[in-house]
Amino acid sequence: MKQFPKNFLWGAATSAYQVEGAALLYGKKASQQDVINEKSFEEKGFASAEIASDHYHHYKEDVALMAEMGFSTYRFSISWSRVFPDGVGEVNEKGIEFYRKLIDELLTYGIEPIVTLYHYDLPWALVEKYQGWLDRRIVTDFEYYAKFVINEFKDKVKYWTTINEQSIIVQYWTQKCYIPKELQSQNQLRYQINHHMNLAHATACKLVHELVPDGLVGAALGYAPIYPLTAKPEDVLAALNAHDLRNAFYLDIYFKGIYTESAMTYLQENHLAPIVEPGDMDLIREGYSDFLALNYYASECAKACPKESGKAIRYSGVNLSGKKGEISGFETHPGFYEMCKNPHLDTTDWDWAIDPIGLEYAFRDIYTRYNKPLMITENGLGAFDELTPEGKVHDEYRISYLRDHIKAIKRAMEKGVEVWAYCPWSALDLLSTSNGVKKRYGFIYVDRTDDDPKDCARIKKDSFYWYQKVIQSNGENL
């Protein structure tokens, strides 16, 4: 089999609000995630973002553990409201200092930072001011924040990702953005938010190109290839429709600077299309991407959904319990497609299809269509890990998941796909976006529960030692 190139980047990923904690300390003010997660703590008993994995106070220990695993890269995000507590205006010196120290610590160990500018945690002040991403003014404020951060780290950070998972923000908008109750039925706003994010993404790409010597920039996209449920032509066409609205709709913006025709037509017919102002598409074209950072967890499946089905438009459901099969429904667009379960694939306890071939398929397909380098900035298995009385975590299910996905990357590379980095989710256990801290992803166990933050002690899981060997052998010893 083809080998990973010598300079291949091995690491893992996290995001600010999901690991840092110190949510309202050291000058940081609330982000929309602090508010959203406080609510889900009260309503569902999931941990809040207040302490998360307490990475803010453990960052040195965490980076040392990453170095012990052999990381050559680490993908993390910067919390906008830690740097600018009010979104714009006065910088919080202590906030930016935290990221200076984190980046310097990484560089001391020779770990290349991959910085994400935005991972769901909009400053709450901007939600209060003009409802955040719902308002175009956000683009100017994002530029202000991005310019400051990029300038600050332009000599230390080469790889930048802009906005995390626009596609997932459209699907699960009330989880990822604060949307007032009275607006939650207005689905057009999902695509309007996305349009504002396209403008913000393009702005950040331009800034990296202007300010960072040899800087490289791209979006981190939540991506699932879509299979037809059957070979019936109606289902195959439905899968193409789903691909156009759920995948191409983002990729075509990043790499071609256009909105996918079929998806836009569908949205227009259903009064869901975003308002695009003169000059917007020029900006989008100017803010081109150098690579695509892919967050891959699962593939998806679609079937035909005739207009006459009598069904209404709906968006993706979630599984809140962690019991297989309790997902609360599938995205439906009558006359275009309906998502469904793939009967050929096993799933995680939260109903996410486990499909390493889907990653190989996605890589091949995206590379053929756009011919740009790819990196994995998320890939992983959420599971109920158990800490044994001996202080061990035997997570062989995670090892098996990751092993199969690394093999899939290798197979895609053998067919010519250019891949730069592998950053599974996540370096350490963290606050899940939808299921609290009991759904764990890390190589490093964080000793806390949803209702008791305990001391957040770090414990190496079996996967920690396995990944160490993988990295040592540059992906040969799987």
Contacting residue, 9, 111, 126, 168, with ligand BG6 by CB under 6 A:
168
CB burial of 80-104 (b: ≥16 within 10 Å; e: otherwise) equals bbbbbbbbbeebbeebbebbeebbe
Nearer to ligand BG6, 289 or 435 (CB): 435
Binding status of residue 379 toward ligand BG6 by CB under 6 A: no
Binding status of residue 358 toward ligand BG6 by CB under 6 A: no
Nearer to ligand BG6, 53 or 432 (CB): 432
Binding status of residue 378 toward ligand BG6 by CB under 6 A: yes
Part in contact with ligand BG6 (CB under 6 A); list of ranges 163-171, 387-395, 408-416, 467-475: 163-171
Query: Shortest approach of ligand BG6 to residue 232 CB, angstroms?
Result: 31
Contact by Cβ (8 Å): 53, 428: yes
Q: Which 200-259 residues touch ligand BG6, going by CB under 6 A?
A: 222
Give CA–CA dist 330/339, Å, rounded: 5
Tell me how many degrees the CA angle 136-253-288 measures, rounded to the nearest 5.
Answer: 95
Part in contact with ligand BG6 (CB under 6 A); list of ranges 41-49, 60-68, 256-264, 425-433: 425-433
Contact string (CB under 6 A) for ligand BG6, positions 432-451, x = contact = xxxx---x------------
Binding status of residue 133 toward ligand BG6 by CB under 6 A: no
- If 0-12 CB within 10 Å is exposed, 13-18 middle and 19+ buried, where does residue 308 land? exposed
Tokens of 290: 């150098």
Nearer to ligand BG6, 164 or 332 (CB): 164
Q: Which long-range contacts (CB under 8 A, 24 or more apart) does 465-472 make?
A: 466/399, 467/69, 467/402, 467/443, 468/68, 468/69, 468/70, 470/10, 470/406, 471/10, 471/69, 471/70, 471/71, 471/72, 472/70
Q: Is 414 a catalytic residue?
A: no
Contact string (CB under 6 A) for ligand BG6, positions 291-310, x = contact = ----x---------------
**Amino acid at residue number 470:** V
Binding status of residue 280 toward ligand BG6 by CB under 6 A: no
The Cα-based distances of 414 to 185, 401, 408, 417 in angstroms read 46, 20, 10, 7
State the DSSP code for 111. Answer: P
Give the residues across from 112 on adjacent strands: 73
Part in contact with ligand BG6 (CB under 6 A); list of ranges 129-137, 236-244, 282-290, 431-439: 431-439
Nearer to ligand BG6, 55 or 303 (CB): 55
Part in contact with ligand BG6 (CB under 6 A); list of ranges 262-270, 336-344, 398-406, 430-438: 430-438
Binding status of residue 15 toward ligand BG6 by CB under 6 A: yes
Binding status of residue 165 toward ligand BG6 by CB under 6 A: yes
Q: Is 378 a catalytic residue?
A: yes
Give CA–CA dist 329/339, Å, rounded: 9
Tokens of 318: 């979630």
Binding status of residue 198 toward ligand BG6 by CB under 6 A: no
Number of residues that bind ligand BG6 (CB under 6 A): 15
Helix (H) or strand (E) holding 143: helix 137-153
Query: Shortest approach of ligand BG6 to residue 377 CB, angstroms?
Result: 8
Nearer to ligand BG6, 92 or 299 (CB): 299
Give CA–CA dist 90/104, Å, rounded: 24
Strands 292-295 and 216-222: parallel
**Amino acid at residue number 189:** L
Part in contact with ligand BG6 (CB under 6 A); list of ranges 48-56, 98-106, 244-252, 429-437: 429-437
Positions marked catalytic:
165, 378
Q: Which residues bind ligand BG6 (CB under 6 A)?
A: 15, 18, 164-165, 168, 222, 295, 378, 382, 425, 432-435, 439
